[in-house]
Copies of this chain bind each other. A is one copy, B any other.
């Protein structure tokens, strides 16, 4: 119970303040728990933060996976993009934690492989969606679904960052153009 409160408090503070600026004191205040408890449960600050970030990453991947599976096959591409688009605006904290995770991986050699692995995993998921799309849509396309995924994942993440840093950023227009590009690509892929 207290453990969960600490994790929730950590997520919140972490998304707001960032890794280093997050203090155990603020977490314990937010969670209404004794400062010493963090060590009792998690062993230390780094362990706690990494665990929370890790978990958030897995939840992110998991949610995205489910989000795709719900989508009917015949309208896969558009539905997929729509889902993603909605998600960015609704849960900015999810993306904030995501960037915190990238930021951490960029400087912490111990965390880096885990982040890299989650990125690869995510590309594969997108790749498998794209595989379906390419299959149903094209006749002998030369497009590799994994390469396409390697283009789409960074694009989604990049777009979300733009939107978070600049609320006036027209995410909608970007997604519409993206949809157009993808359709254009798919319908002429064999040429």
Contact = CB atoms under 8 A, between A and B. Distances in A.
**4 smallest beta-carbon distances between A and B, as pairs:** A154-B158, A20-B20, A158-B158, A18-B107
Given A112-B165, A153-B158, A106 B170 contact: no
A136 interface: no
A169 to B, nearest CB: 7
Q: How large is the interface on A (under 10, 10 to 19, 20 to 34, 35 or more residues)?
A: 35 or more
B188 A102 contact: no
Contact of A155 (B116, B155, B189): B155
Interface of A: 16-21, 96, 99, 102-103, 105-107, 112, 115-116, 119-120, 143-144, 147-148, 150-151, 153-159, 161-162, 164-166, 169-170, 173-174, 177-178, 180-182, 184-185, 187-189
A180 B103 CA distance: 31
User: What copy number does this chain have within its complex?
Assistant: 4
Given A184-B188, A185-B181, A169 B155 contact: no
Contacts of A112: 165
A153 to B, nearest CB: 7
Nearest to A176: B147
A141 to B, nearest CB: 11
